Amino acid sequence: MAESAFAGGLGMEIDLRKVPRSGVDRNDHLLFSESQSRFIVTIDPSKKRTFKKILGQSVFAEVGVVRKGEMLRVIGLQGKKIIEANIFDLKEAWQKPLRF
């Protein structure tokens, strides 16, 4: 999700309680797992009905929204804010170790 925010230059608000999951009760496991068949899609709100129709019976959930501004906010599984950071600061921290 952060990489998507970096690419678009827009913030996001995410609620991990809305992520379909089974047996996962830790924020870090949910955020950083690479479970099979899990992917993130951002869509124009006006296309939401069509997108849901295309997915049919597939398991999916709307877990957040794209926002104007530069902040990435994540609410954890216990309902508390666990991340609130500027996307450009996060992008720099992500890219810095790759500059050698």
Q: How confident is the model at residue 37 (pLDDT cuts 50, 70, 90)?
A: confident
Confidence (pLDDT) at 70: 96
Q: What is the CATH number of the domain that holds 30?
A: 3.90.650.10
What amino acid is encoded at 66 in this protein? V
Alpha carbons 12 and 63: distance in angstroms, whole number: 10
> pLDDT tens digits for 3-12?
999 999 999 9
Host domain of residue 67? 2-98
Q: What is the mean pLDDT of residues 79-93?
A: 96
Which helix H or strand E contains 15, and what residues bound it?
A: strand 11-15
Which two tokens mark 4?
Answer: 């998507």
Structural domain count of the chain = 1
How far apart are alpha carbons 7 and 4 in whole angstroms?
5
pLDDT category, 32, cuts 50, 70, 90?
Answer: confident
> What phi, psi does 97 have (nearest 5°)?
-65, -15
